[in-house]
Structure 1
Amino acid sequence: MTSFRFGDLPWRAKASYVAHVFKAAVKQHHGWMRPLLSRYIDAEGVILDIGGHAGQYAKLFARMASQGQVYSFEPSGYACSILRLAIRINGFSNIHLVAKGLSDQPGSLILHTPLKDSGTFRYGLAHMGEIDRAGPYHHQEVPVTTIDRFAADEGLRRLDFIKMDVEGLEMRILEGGAQTITRYRPVMLVELVDEQLSQVGDSLKAAWELLESWGYRPVTFFDEIKLTPLDAPRDGDAFWLPD
């Protein structure tokens, strides 16, 4: 299977898909982070949601930036169809679904999505690069662009916040957005995991060094109020704040 078509799914996968759509449409995760995010996102904010998945962050951002714009990048045909329905059901007009991936140069890449034995999608683990586990996969060739190319094509005049969680391609995406990021200095929430980065030949250390060279400092969070500076590379989510 090279692209997503509901009719091609086995019956268990169809049931799983319906459940995924329901959760995406009616549930709101990450709400506890709103006090933290409100420090960096205002009502007119412009946000890049990189790794849109089922739209849980996109929906939260859209509610916070009610007069702004959220661009949600999701290359997976399966996830994209879920996110598109969630946006429509909730009536969001300020979420723009971009059915592409991001990297350090435009082109195309293969997205690998693990499947359960039942044929259901483990779409939160979709990634590009080396396959990191045994078992069946759904493979999809997807178009990719760069942050810099997208910003130029879209005519962005501001960029306030970037959220990025793409299972390993984070450093390539940062490199493809160097001009835009260093120009607008958005706050970034990025998940970096050394094992995932290594699947495309990158490393946690190199990603940290790149961000620090741009004048960003990492902080982590344990609740909705306190931010704690990080002084050494570590796996996981961190806010990257411009100096």
Structure 2
Amino acid sequence: MRAASSGGGAPFFVMDPLASDAPTDAFLSRRVPLAGRMRLIYAPLGDDAFSRYTGGRFRHFRQFCEGVLEPDSVALDIGANIGLTALVAAETARRGRIYAIEAAPRNFAALTRNVFEHGASVIRPIHCAVGPETGSVPFFDHSAFGYVVARENMTSVPSTSVPMRRLDDIADEVGLSRLDVIKIDIEGFEQEALTGAAGILARFQPVVMLEFNSWCQIASYDKSPRRFLEWLLATFPQLHIWRDGRLTDVRRLGVYEFLHLNLTRHRCNTDLIAAYAPDRLARLEALSAQGGLAGLRRRLGF
């Protein structure tokens, strides 16, 4: 493991995926289906989310990766948890680079072990939270649902201090010269993370997959989901729902219809795909067109 920092800020940590010193008794493990095959995966002891894992959760993420990544692509996996999404992405970007960024210390230990055990040398784990500024933040370490603790909640939520970095700073420090995809799932803190990525968003114009979780936005940060949605629409010319292997244009739905779907049918959790140019989504659009009744009719020649 090595520490890195810039401008005297708090260090973050990049773990060599070929060396893991975490004790084996710190984990639970079992074989689970992932990216088309069974894998032995490690998770922190007491990880309830992992104990309920069945494999279906990442099927649509694998389709996304196949639609937007190339074998030599570079991606940022923000909120990488124990490394499952990074391992899925590495199946497509097998000659590229996946920077797997995770704030929770116990998840990060499992992430580095999973990368090591599966020989995924294209994955580079980084330990830190991401946000609009450099420093340190309180973090609630809670399985797959950990989050940066808002200052006003510090006295009521148990937390541990972790380094926070801007994605722009991380990109500079690792010498990023290409960026194709950002996947971000950090329990309602997505806007803050993207604010700290303004430079790389403008420079590389990557495809962004993010979780829109209205419950987390309200409960953890007292934020307006509508304001966040309007910010996304103002920032990205392309904004789509990615669900069941299909893209749905958010602009065509409208703000009210999207929020109604998110709060009712999607149970507050919607995966969104954002991009600057439609050509970045061409293959994903083609995959989307193959799904559903319309795609079935086309394949049958009707």
TM-score interval for Structure 1 and Structure 2 normalised by the shorter chain = 0.7 to 0.9
For 2:78 and 2:30, the matched residues in 1 are separated by 19
Establish whether residue 227 from structure 1 lines up as the match of residue 255 from structure 2. no
Query: Is the CA contact (8 Å cut-off) linking 1:21 and 1:82 kept in structure 2?
Result: no
Which one has the largest radius of gyration?
2
Consecutive unaligned residues in structure 2, runs of 5 or more: 1-21, 42-54, 263-269, 278-302
Q: CA deviation at 1:229?
A: 1.2
Establish whether residue 98 from structure 1 lines up as the match of residue 131 from structure 2. no
For 1:200 and 1:182, the matched residues in 2 are separated by 27
* 1:44 counterpart residue number: 72
* 2:228 counterpart residue number: 207
Give the one of 24, 28, 31 matched to 1:19. 28
Change in Cα spacing, 1:210 to 1:20, as seen in structure 2 (3 Å) is: farther
Consecutive unaligned residues in structure 1, runs of 5 or more: 1-5, 8-13, 114-121
Q: CA deviation at 1:89?
A: 0.5
Q: CA deviation at 1:222?
A: 3.1
Establish whether residue 150 from structure 1 lines up as the match of residue 159 from structure 2. no
Q: CA deviation at 1:158?
A: 1.3
* 2:273 counterpart residue number: 239
* 1:166 counterpart residue number: 186
Identity in percent: 22
Q: CA deviation at 1:179?
A: 1.5
Equivalent position SS for 2:147: coil
Change in Cα spacing, 1:195 to 1:138, as seen in structure 2 (3 Å) is: same
Q: CA deviation at 1:82?
A: 0.6
Equivalent position SS for 2:107: helix
* 1:218 counterpart residue number: 239
Q: Note the alpha carbon deviations across 1:83-136, whole angstroms, 9 max, x for none.
A: 1110010011111000111000010000013xxxxxxxx411111124999xx9
For 2:112 and 2:30, the matched residues in 1 are separated by 10
Q: CA deviation at 1:201?
A: 4.7
Q: CA deviation at 1:140?
A: 1.1
Which letter maps to 1:73? I
Establish whether residue 176 from structure 1 lines up as the match of residue 190 from structure 2. no
Query: Is the CA contact (8 Å cut-off) linking 2:243 and 2:271 kept in structure 1?
Result: no
Equivalent position SS for 2:226: helix
Query: Is the CA contact (8 Å cut-off) linking 1:112 and 1:131 kept in structure 2?
Result: no
For 1:94 and 1:210, the matched residues in 2 are separated by 33
Establish whether residue 111 from structure 1 lines up as the match of residue 131 from structure 2. no
For 2:158 and 2:124, the matched residues in 1 are separated by 25
TM-score by length of 2: 0.65
Query: Is the CA contact (8 Å cut-off) linking 1:20 and 1:82 kept in structure 2?
Result: no
Which letter maps to 2:217? L
Q: CA deviation at 1:39?
A: 2.0
Q: How many residues align?
A: 220
For 2:206 and 2:137, the matched residues in 1 are separated by 27
Tell me which of the two structures has the higher relative contact order, counting C-alpha pairs closer than 8 angstroms and 6 or more residues apart.
1
Q: Note the alpha carbon deviations across 1:7-58, whole angstroms, 9 max, x for none.
A: 9xxxxxx98x532576696266514443332221111111000001111100
TM-score by length of 1: 0.80
Q: CA deviation at 1:196?
A: 1.7
Matches within 5 A, 1:1-150: 18-20=27-29, 26=40, 30-113=58-141, 122-130=142-150, 139-150=159-170
